[in-house]
Structure 1
Amino acid sequence: MNLRFGQLERYQSQFIDGLIGTLELTALCVTAGMLIGLLLSFLYRSKHPLVQKLIYAYVEFFRNTPSLIQLFVVFFLLPDLGISFSPFVAATIALSLYFGAYTTEIFRSGLDSIPKAQVEAGECLGLTKFQIYRNIVILPALRNVYQSLTAQIIILLLGTSLASQVSADELFHAATFVESRSYLSFEVYAVLCLIYFSLVLACKLIMYLVGKIAFRWPTGR
């Protein structure tokens, strides 16, 4: 096989732009999805039947339907209702809602893992509700589900490639553009796999370091 990786050098700007787009899309979806998950996980604990049913319906829908179909609904069907978005914004909305459904369950399980006795102990010490939730509830809950959250972020990072189906500017879309111009299919997708693999390793390292810094208190003797 006559491999011609050197011919891809002329397309490095396309790969860089696609990489930047993927990182931006991932960062936006992680931020929005975590806010959605944190908010809904707290609302679910309100014990209001209607609120719980609505949150349950949202979580079950987005966890049990293909994320590609969710993207198509946002990009292709909503314009029929007079609501249209650019490809990048549509991908951000769809993937954020998808990620938010998973983080809702992750955060809810983390909150449920905190014993009520710890909250009562904080109240006995005279801590405010904000201090109790910040130090006794939220941070320990995040620590308990940090590995699951890390895995879901990596899945989201890889899932941003679906945005290429609506021509959003991200890495996979850039690679298909380069492949259509260079006809170097093997070389392009080999480089693409290497980039995604490097991104996942970098993401794991960053999340590991963040976890070491954020959750550095001991768990026991």
Structure 2
Amino acid sequence: MNYTFDFTPIFQAWGLLAQGAWATVYISAISMALGLVFGIVLTALRMAPLAPLRAFAIGYIELVRNTPFLVQVFFIYFGMPELGLRLNAMEAAILTMTLNCSAYIAEIVRSGVESIRPGQIEAGKALGLSTPDVYRFIVFRPAIRAVYPSLCSQFVLMMLNTSLVASISAQELTYAAQMIDNRTFRSFEVYFVLGAIYLVLSQLFSVGLSMIGRVYFSYPTK
């Protein structure tokens, strides 16, 4: 093997990689927040007493979970303009990731909600709590606490999936790496460093989400 490894051109382009990493974190954070909100809404619709609402939620969840994420990205970015919705690459990336993530989160949260015993809800009502407070404090908060590790895994996976939005030229980390590769022709070094950065980001997301869980979902201690 006569190949000579040279990481110098990649490290010289650290600014472009840093911008891409920040864009990845930005896209992921917004999509996580919106996906969690929409996922909880979908869970409520999925368990609603009205059949049309349940049918809508089930249909949406099945559609998203059984189609490739890359196809969803292309549909939002290239297909929706035919219906009059024109988004730039970053907006399309955030919208697609939010819609995709919400379907998975809905099923995760639903499993947590189903673990709540009916007697707990009845006890909350007996204590005089309003219906919104019952669902807030007795249903959704304990449910999210129960499935929080699964949510964290889904969030990290979603962050890694941002690499696919480079296909529509969203200027995140993988897109930045592709630009450097096109300039330097150092594919091994570029994608080796790219993988290392994603590994670091995954660990940082895991630690950050774990800290959030300890603050908001841990049981109080005396």
> Which runs of 5 or more structure 1 residues have no equivalent in the other structure?
none
Query: Which residue of 2 is the match for residue 2 of structure 1?
Result: 4
Shift in Å, 1:126: 2.0
* Percentage identity across paired residues of the two chains: 35
CA distance in 1, matches of 2:156, 2:124: 35
One-letter identity of the residue aligned with 1:35: V
One-letter identity of the residue aligned with 1:115: R
Query: Which residue of 1 is the match for residue 77 of structure 2?
Result: 75
> Which runs of 5 or more structure 2 residues have no equivalent in the other structure?
none
Shift in Å, 1:111: 1.2
CA distance in 1, matches of 2:209, 2:145: 12
Query: Which residue of 2 is the match for residue 49 of structure 1?
Result: 51
Query: Which residue of 1 is the match for residue 186 of structure 2?
Result: 184
Query: Which residue of 2 is the match for residue 97 of structure 1?
Result: 99
CA distance in 2, matches of 1:70, 1:192: 24
One-letter identity of the residue aligned with 1:78: M
Shift in Å, 1:64: 0.4
One-letter identity of the residue aligned with 1:107: V
Q: Tell me, what secondary structure is at the counterpart of 1:145?
A: helix
Query: Which residue of 2 is the match for residue 38 of structure 1?
Result: 40
CA distance in 2, matches of 1:137, 1:213: 19
Count of aligned pairs between the two proteins: 219
Query: Which residue of 2 is the match for residue 60 of structure 1?
Result: 62
Shift in Å, 1:80: 1.6
Query: Which residue of 1 is the match for residue 29 of structure 2?
Result: 27
Shift in Å, 1:106: 1.1
Shift in Å, 1:13: 1.1
TM-score (norm 2): 0.94
Backbone CA RMSD of aligned residues: 1.5
- Describe how 1:72-221 pairs up with structure 2 within 5 A: 72-217=74-219
Q: Tell me, what secondary structure is at the counterpart of 2:5?
A: coil
One-letter identity of the residue aligned with 2:203: L
Superimposed CA distance per residue, residues 74-107 of structure 1 (whole angstroms, 9 cap, x where no aligned partner): 1111112222110111111111111011011111
CA distance in 2, matches of 1:176, 1:6: 16
CA distance in 1, matches of 2:220, 2:53: 36
One-letter identity of the residue aligned with 2:197: I
Moved beyond 6 Å, runs of 4+: none
TM-score (norm 1): 0.94
Shift in Å, 1:152: 0.6
Shift in Å, 1:27: 0.9
One-letter identity of the residue aligned with 1:40: L
CA distance in 2, matches of 1:120, 1:98: 34
CA distance in 2, matches of 1:33, 1:96: 5
Superimposed CA distance per residue, residues 107-149 of structure 1 (whole angstroms, 9 cap, x where no aligned partner): 1111111111011111222223333222211211001111111
Shift in Å, 1:218: 6.8
